[in-house]
Amino acid sequence: MLWYFVWFLWIFLVITVLLDVFRSRDLNGWAKAGWTLFTIVLPFVGVLVYLIARGDRMFVRKAGELQEREQQFRAYVRDTAGGGGTAEELTKLAELHQHGVINDAEFERGKAKILS
């Protein structure tokens, strides 16, 4: 049972290294081909050398990708939830009218503008 777990971890590590090779923007095509060939032909040595040589950059790239995704998600939520729509605008307009900030004519103009 332990060997299955170790085998699964090894496959996961090899796939992670290969994905990092292809996602890396600072490697040219020949370097990507070399690392891929090295990892496939001599998997133990290739993975260990890659982790020693470029392991720190793997973390930096992954952290940057996660931060970028989080910023995109926050921007999406802000854009989606921020507007509120016509119902919220009409409610704000009605509150202004009730508190006497705007008169009847301004309320009707604002309502016509929101509903159009």
Listed by start position, the domains of the chain span: 2-82, 84-116
Distance of CA 39 to the CA centre of its chain: 28
| Mean pLDDT estimate for the chain | 88
User: What pLDDT shows up at residue 73?
Assistant: 93
Tokens of 34: 């070399």
Q: Are 31 and 56 in contact (CB under 8 A)?
A: no
* Positions of the chain with pLDDT under 70: 82-84
Q: Are 32 and 22 in contact (CB under 8 A)?
A: yes
